[in-house]
């Protein structure tokens, strides 16, 4: 797969963009005209730099409003075009993107557009240049790729072909199957973008909200499959207008973008139909993790977390034989407390371990997807954990061991107690990670491409400090669930303002809450107004509500009334709290309706803690 990326996808100067694209492993780039115009480097310098970096310059773009105009306007089109063809020769670029007319078109006639494209093609040919004609989704007359292809056929010129852009086709709901009717050598260029399902005008959607493949709602694997069936063998290029990617670090975006194409390449090889196209390789595959292996909580002093775990019946399993790290377990839930190199750090989730079928395959997969490796210092005789760093900085590790079996690495912990046969807490239910708004799209691609988790639809809950967007990444069987919560932008940088949490499953939440209270667990207090409302909403028994209220339990019920969710939260310690949940009757959610009450109570708790410190 020959990969390319439009410079408009990235932030920074043109030179920075070229360097980042090359570093991330792209084969080529599309030059977005405004990036060149703003560059202090001459076209010859840009050409030379790209050569040295090993990047091809695949496309110059865009040339606008070239057809459907009157003769006087078309003469000006030719004048402008000739200046740009001259420039393209200096750059050494042989394909130019011409968009369907948005502004100046006055003639809605395929013959006129075709004849003008033919004349433009003649001029281009003199410069050794090809015209890739693209129907914009908001083109004045030509807004459908099938019409752009008809006009191109009418133009009947070897230097005139089409450019296909997944956004312009899929955003309008146009059937991409007709692509297979276009000969591959008449498709001069292919641009891919994903996008979230939004209901807004297509121009704003396109200019601000495009995403890299795998992050939105488009079926890009199917789309690309249609294109490849034509015999197209040109670059697969990303053109993603996105307000966030325009702002954030260019190197990170380039790596992220390249990962999306590697993911897509793999998806195409697995799509139904004929054999995988030549030059397209699958990724090594381990499937989604079968469960949580461990959660690692790091802090300079983890004793408040030890007290918390002890109060809910976790067993201290001892200290690591070479590191200031302890292990606690309850049922299948394992929590590693790490005080190594943690000066001034408050408790937070530093790493998550997963049980996987084939750890070696997953390590290869992660490497092919260009993820940064996570590192744990190891000693002779200790198990080496492979891992990757997620976009928010959380380290992700994986190892192969059967479900239920204790993993081998637990033997590295010494002088601990033996866990009882039964414990009130039975497993990790989910791990919720707060995401800065800049990285959440990349995080979705990270968890879906590396760990093969799928993204549930987005939900939104109100907090006293703004709306929190939540997207759950989960395995098909629900054994692994990772809600990603996006903090409001105002809190960016205040990591502690939107704490992470670990939720543990139990079989009897009322018994657990009672025993934990006896052992001094500090719960998050839930206001009485919540219980008054609960009784009104669900028509609950008074005694049941009284029990919930007594124990600060919160409650939710499925839409169909079968599943119920009872849970309670601990007070926040550092940047972390714990949740204990009992799922009844196949309840599959996370009690999102209770999150506003939790956020308010946590904020009140933080304010009290602040006033104590003062």
By CB under 8 A, tell whether 78 contacts a copy of itself: no
Stretch in the footprint of a copy of itself (CB under 8 A) among 78-86, 133-141, 171-179, 258-266? 78-86
Q: Is 474 left (phi over 0), alpha (psi -120 to 50) or beta?
A: beta
Indicate the helix (H) or strand (E) that contains 585. none
End-to-end CA distance of the chain: 60
Contact 312, 425 (CB under 8 A): yes
Could you tell me which residues come within 8 angstroms of residue 610 by beta carbon, excluding any fewer than 6 positions away?
Answer: none
Binding piece for a copy of itself, criterion CB under 8 A, among 66-74, 176-184, 386-394, 482-490:
482-490
For residues 505 and 292, the answer to whether their CB atoms sit within 8 Å is no
* Shortest separation between residue 613's beta carbon and a copy of itself, angstroms: 19
Stretch that binds a copy of itself, among 186-194, 199-207, 376-384, 542-550 (CB under 8 A): 199-207
Nearer residue to a copy of itself within complex by CB, 40 or 272: 40
79 binds a copy of itself (CB under 8 A): yes
Q: Are 389 and 351 in contact (CB under 8 A)?
A: no
Q: Choose, by CB under 8 A, the member of 525, 585, 586, 588 that binds a copy of itself.
A: 525
- Interacting residues of 285 by C-beta distance below 8 A, sequence separation 6+: 358, 361, 365, 452
The one segment of 94-102, 115-123, 244-252, 257-265 that binds a copy of itself by CB under 8 A: 244-252
Give the interface segment with a copy of itself, choosing from 193-201, 297-305, 318-326, 358-366 (CB under 8 A): 193-201
Out of 2, 13, 144, 459, the only residue in the binding site for a copy of itself (CB under 8 A) is 13
* Positions in 487-516 near a copy of itself (CB under 8 A): 488-492
Partners of 500 in beta bridges: 576
Shortest distance (Å) from residue 14 CB to a copy of itself? 9
CA neighbor of 206 nearest in space, from 292, 255, 111, 134: 134
Nearest-angstrom CA–CA distance, 599 and 398: 32
| Least distance in angstroms from the C-beta of 81 to a copy of itself | 9
Q: Can residue 84 be called a binding residue for a copy of itself (CB under 8 A)?
A: yes
Please list every residue from 403 through 442 that binds a copy of itself, using CB under 8 A: 437-438
Residues 6+ apart with CB under 8 A from 490: 465, 466
C-alpha 128/C-alpha 398 separation (Å) is 52
CA distances from 49 to 22, 25, 55 (A): 11, 15, 9
How far, in Å, CA of 217 to CA of 349, rounded? 30
Please report whether residue 126 would count as binding a copy of itself according to CB under 8 A.
Answer: no
Region of residue 408 (phi > 0: left; psi between -120 and 50: alpha; otherwise: beta)? alpha
Among 133, 530, 569, 590, indicate the residue that binds a copy of itself (CB under 8 A): 530
Question: CA-CA distances (angstroms) from residue 558 to 468, 561, 584?
Answer: 21, 5, 10
Host H or E run for residue 239: none
Question: Got the DSSP string for 357-411?
Answer: S-HHHHHHHHHHTTPPBP-----TTSPPPEEEE-TTS-EEEEEE--TTSPPGGGG
C-alpha 394/C-alpha 380 separation (Å) is 26
**Residue list 58-77, contact with a copy of itself (CB under 8 A):** 76
* Bridge partner list, 328: 316, 335
Determine the Cα–Cα distance for residues 218 and 67; give it in Å rounded to an integer. 30
Considering beta carbons, is residue 528 or 611 the nearer one to a copy of itself?
Answer: 528
Closest to a copy of itself by CB, 34 or 183: 34
251 binds a copy of itself (CB under 8 A): no
Q: Peptide bond before 62: cis, by omega within 30 degrees of 0?
A: yes
Q: How many residues bind a copy of itself (CB under 8 A)?
A: 59
Q: Which of 107, 178, 456, 604 binds a copy of itself (CB under 8 A)?
A: 604
DSSP alpha helix (H) spans, 297-342: 303-311
Q: Are strands 28-32 and 56-63 parallel, antiparallel or unpaired?
A: parallel
Decide: is 109 part of the binding site for a copy of itself (CB under 8 A). Answer: no
597 touches a copy of itself (CB under 8 A): yes
Range 302-361, binding a copy of itself (CB under 8 A): none
**How many other C-beta atoms can be found within 10 angstroms of the C-beta atom of residue 523?**
17
Options 157, 256, 334, 599; binder of a copy of itself; rule CB under 8 A: 599
Minimum distance, C-beta of residue 42 to a copy of itself, in the bound complex (Å): 7
If one asks whether residue 40 binds a copy of itself (CB under 8 A), the answer comes out as: yes
Q: Can residue 101 be called a binding residue for a copy of itself (CB under 8 A)? A: no
Taking the C-alpha atoms of residue 614 and residue 607, their distance in angstroms, rounded to an integer, is 11
Scanning 11-19, 299-307, 404-412, 504-512 for contacts with a copy of itself by CB under 8 A, the matching segment is 11-19
Q: Which of 106, 158, 200, 414 binds a copy of itself (CB under 8 A)?
A: 200
CA dist 357 and 608 (Å) reads 46
Options 417, 462, 546, 609; binder of a copy of itself; rule CB under 8 A: 462
CB atoms within 10 A of CB 278: 7
> Interacting stretch for a copy of itself, rule CB under 8 A, among 36-44, 51-59, 177-185, 303-311?
36-44
* Candidates 23-31, 220-228, 357-365, 522-530; binding stretch for a copy of itself (CB under 8 A): 522-530
- Do the beta carbons of residue 14 and residue 7 sit within 8 Å? yes
Does residue number 588 form part of the binding site for a copy of itself (CB under 8 A)?
A: no
> Shortest distance, CB of residue 96 to a copy of itself, whole angstroms?
13
- By the 8 A CB rule, do 192 and 237 touch? yes
Q: Does 275 bind a copy of itself (CB under 8 A)?
A: no
Based on CB atoms, which residue is closest to a copy of itself, 222 or 596?
596
Binding segment toward a copy of itself, per CB under 8 A, in 79-87, 288-296, 360-368, 562-570: 79-87
Residue with smaller CB distance to a copy of itself, 284 or 527: 527
C-alpha R_g of the chain: 28
Q: How far is the CB of 199 from a copy of itself (least distance, A)?
A: 4
- Report d(CA 217, CA 360) in Å as an integer: 31
CB-wise, 112 or 461, nearer to a copy of itself? Answer: 461
Site string for a copy of itself, 538-577 (x = CB under 8 A): -x--------------------------------------
Residue from 30, 33, 392, 582 that binds a copy of itself (CB under 8 A)?
33
Distance separating alpha carbons of residues 133 and 159, to the nearest angstrom: 10
Using the minimum distance from each CB to a copy of itself, give the nearer residue, 358 or 558: 558
Give me the residues that bind a copy of itself (CB under 8 A), please: 11-13, 33-34, 36-43, 76, 79-80, 83-84, 87, 198-201, 204, 208, 243, 246-248, 437-438, 462, 464-467, 488-492, 525, 527-530, 532-533, 535-537, 539, 596-597, 599-601, 603-604
């Amino acid at each position: 797969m020959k990969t390319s990326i439009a410079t408009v996808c990235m932030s920074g100067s043109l030179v920075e963009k070229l360097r980042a694209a090359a570093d991330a492993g792209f084969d080529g780039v599309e030059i977005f005209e405004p990036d060149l115009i703003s560059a202090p480097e001459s076209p010859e310098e840009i050409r030379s730099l790209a050569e040295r970096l090993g990047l091809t310059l695949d496309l110059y773009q865009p040339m606008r409003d070239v057809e459907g105009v009157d003769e006087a306007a078309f003469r000006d089109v030719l004048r402008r075009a000739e200046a740009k063809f001259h420039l393209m020769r200096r750059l050494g670029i042989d394909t130019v993107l011409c968009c369907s007319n948005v502004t100046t078109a006055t003639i809605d006639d395929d013959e006129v557009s075709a004849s003008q494209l033919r004349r433009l093609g003649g001029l281009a040919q003199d410069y050794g240049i090809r015209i890739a004609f693209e129907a914009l989704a908001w083109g004045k007359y030509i807004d459908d790729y099938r019409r752009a292809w008809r006009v191109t056929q009418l133009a009947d010129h070897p230097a005139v072909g089409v450019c296909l852009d997944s956004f312009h086709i899929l955003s309008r709901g146009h059937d991409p199957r007709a692509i297979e009717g276009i000969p591959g050598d008449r498709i001069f260029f292919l641009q891919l973008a994903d996008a979230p399902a939004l209901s807004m005008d297509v121009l704003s959607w396109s200019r601000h909200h495009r995403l890299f493949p795998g992050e939105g709602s488009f079926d890009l694997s199917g789309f690309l499959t249609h294109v490849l069936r034509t015999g197209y063998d040109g670059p697969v290029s990303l053109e993603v207008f996105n307000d966030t990617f325009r702002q954030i670090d260019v190197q990170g975006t380039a790596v992220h973008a390249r990962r999306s194409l590697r993911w897509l390449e793999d998806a195409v090889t697995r799509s139904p139909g004929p054999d995988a196209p030549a030059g397209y390789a699958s990724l090594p595959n381990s499937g989604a993790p079968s469960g949580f292996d461990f959660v690692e909580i790091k802090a300079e002093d983890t004793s408040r977390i030890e007290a918390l775990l002890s109060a809910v019946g976790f067993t201290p399993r001892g200290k690591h034989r070479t590191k200031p790290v302890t292990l606690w377990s309850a049922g299948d839930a394992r929590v590693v407390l790490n005080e190594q190199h943690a000066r001034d750090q408050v408790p937070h989730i530093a790493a998550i371990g997963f049980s996987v079928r084939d750890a070696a395959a997953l390590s290869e997969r992660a490497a092919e997807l260009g993820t940064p490796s996570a590192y744990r210092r190891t000693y002779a005789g200790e198990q080496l954990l492979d891992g990757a760093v997620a976009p928010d900085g959380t380290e992700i590790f994986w190892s192969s061991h059967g479900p239920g079996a204790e993993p081998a690495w637990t033997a590295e912990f010494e002088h601990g107690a033996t866990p009882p046969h039964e414990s009130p807490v039975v497993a990790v239910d989910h791990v919720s990670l707060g995401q800065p708004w800049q990285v959440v799209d990349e995080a979705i691609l990270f968890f879906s491409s590396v760990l093969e988790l799928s993204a549930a639809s987005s939900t939104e809950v109100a907090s006293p400090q703004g709306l929190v967007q939540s997207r759950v990444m989960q395995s098909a069987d629900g054994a692994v669930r990772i809600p990603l919560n996006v903090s409001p932008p105002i809190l960016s940088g205040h990591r502690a303002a939107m704490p992470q949490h670990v939720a543990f499953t139990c079989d009897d939440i009322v018994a657990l809450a009672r025993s934990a209270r006896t052992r001094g667990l500090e719960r998050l207090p839930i206001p009485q107004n919540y219980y008054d409302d609960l009784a009104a909403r669900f028509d609950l028994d008074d005694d049941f509500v009284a029990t919930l209220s007594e124990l600060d339990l919160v409650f939710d019920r499925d839409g169909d009334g079968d599943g119920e969710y009872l849970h309670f939260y601990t007070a926040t310690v550092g940047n972390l709290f714990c949740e204990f949940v009992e799922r009844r009757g196949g309840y599959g959610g996370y009690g999102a309706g209770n999150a506003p009450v939790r956020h308010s109570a946590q904020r009140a708790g933080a304010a009290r803690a602040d006033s104590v410190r003062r």
